[in-house]
Amino acid sequence: MRVSRLAMLMLVLLAALLLAAGCGGDDDNGDSGSDGGSNGDDSGITTPAPLESGGAFRVCTDVPYPPAEYLEGTTFVGYEIDIMNEVADRLNTNAEYEKTLFDAIIPSLQAKKCDAIISSMNVTPEREKEVAFVRYMEIGQSLMVATDNDDDIANLDDLAGKTVAVQVGTTLKDALDAKSKELVADGEDAIEVQSFPDGGSAAAALKSDRVDVFFADSPVVADYINKDDSFKFAGEPIDPLPVGIALRTEDTELTEAIQDAVDAMYEDGGMDEILEKWKVADFGLPDA
């Protein structure tokens, strides 16, 4: 059958229109793919400087200090690890942990070996001269002794003449040194303070009778006692203090973003869920 020249022309024009429509659809899809949310995603999250969206959030921490932070194989776990993982997720970043000795942890942050510290660090006026803090818990300290220890030890005043283990670089050593001076001034024996590189070494020294007492944060002491019936508490928790995520003072955008994240975790129940999981719910911020 012959097709007229006019009909042939109309078919060619129709084919051209259909082809153009198909190409136009491809262009639209390409445009929508390049229009993401802030920082290239549609989450609405703005990742604060100096971090990058989807990138690493390097965190210094000293392990082992269970249940706050410790290693299971090569994996960092603990209630502070869970807190920091949640904060990092809310900033659209991925937490990566750097094992760092506590007495070198602030210098490591200032040398930019990490972007933040989470390591049961008490917020003190002296430390606030060096770093900024975002408070996330308030924790007291406790004395731990051997179960068969019959000495009448209930507080720091009872430590005259005792050998006490602490983790190196902590404010607990400073507290014991100050108390020891008070005791000596009152005619009592001094406290012999022995510093250990980590909580595990200090607890081991107590177990082997090389020291009389282990002085540490209450959740840490509770964890050792729950796991080992050769330990027990001596007295009630002492001087609850806030603990905080430490940051460089110049990283104001990051500090504000983490503060917002922690506030939101308390408001939406995320923080309560973590603290209850690790049986440390009593140590949440009292005014949160």
Q: Average the pLDDT over 256-262 and give the result.
A: 97
| CA–CA gap between residue 185 and residue 145 (Å, rounded) | 26
Q: Is there a contact between 232 and 144 (Cβ–Cβ < 8 Å)?
A: yes
Correct CATH for 140-240 of 3.40.190.10, 3.40.47.10, 3.40.50.740, 3.10.290.10: 3.40.190.10
Q: Average the pLDDT over 115-142 and give the result.
A: 96
Per residue in 156-175, pLDDT (tens digit) is: 999 999 999 999 888 899 99
Residue ranges of the chain that CATH labels 3.40.190.10: 56-139+242-283, 140-240
Sheet strands (E) in the chain: 56-61, 70-72, 75-77, 94-99, 116-117, 132-146, 163-167, 192-196, 213-217, 231-247
pTM over 0.85: no
Q: Bridge partners of 76?
A: 71
- Mean pLDDT score of the chain, rounded to an integer? 87
| CA–CA gap between residue 270 and residue 264 (Å, rounded) | 8
Provide the pLDDT confidence category of residue 72 given band limits of 50, 70 and 90: very high
Of the given ranges (23-32, 175-184, 187-196), which has the lowest mean pLDDT? 23-32
Predicted confidence (pLDDT) at residue 60 exceeds the cutoff of 50: yes
User: Which pLDDT score is estimated for 8?
Assistant: 44
Q: Tell me the CATH number for domain 56-139+242-283.
A: 3.40.190.10
First to last CA, the chain: 86
